[in-house]
Amino acid sequence: MSKNAAITKLSTRGRERERERERERGNHPRPQRERTPPHRASPWASRSAFPKHATARPPPPPPSFDPDPDPDHERGGAQRDDLKMATRRAEERGEGEGEGVPVPIRRLEMGDHAKGFVELLGQLSSCPELTEADFGARFADLAALGDDHLVLVAEDPRSGRIVATGSVFVEKKFIRGCGKVGHIEDVVVDKAARGRRLGQRVIRRLADHARAIGCYKVILGCNPDLRSFYVECGFVEKDVQMALYF
Task: Give the global pTM.
Answer: 0.61
**Per residue in 143-192, pLDDT tens?**
999 999 999 999 999 999 999 999 999 999 999 999 999 999 999 999 99
- pLDDT for residue 76: 44
- Phi, psi at residue 21, to the nearest 5°? -65, -40
pLDDT bracket for residue 75 (50, 70, 90): very low
pLDDT bracket for residue 213 (50, 70, 90): very high
Q: Which distant-in-sequence residues (6+ apart) come within 8 Å of 19 by Cβ?
A: 29
CATH number of 99-232: 3.40.630.30
Check: CB of residue 197 under 8 Å from CB of residue 97: yes
- Mean pLDDT is lowest, of 36-45, 76-85, 227-236, for 76-85
**Per residue in 93-130, pLDDT tens?**
554 454 567 899 999 999 999 999 999 999 999 999 99
Question: What residue spans define the domains of the chain?
Answer: 99-232
- pLDDT for residue 9: 58
**Per residue in 37-46, pLDDT tens?**
555 555 554 4
Q: Is the pLDDT of residue 131 over 60?
A: yes
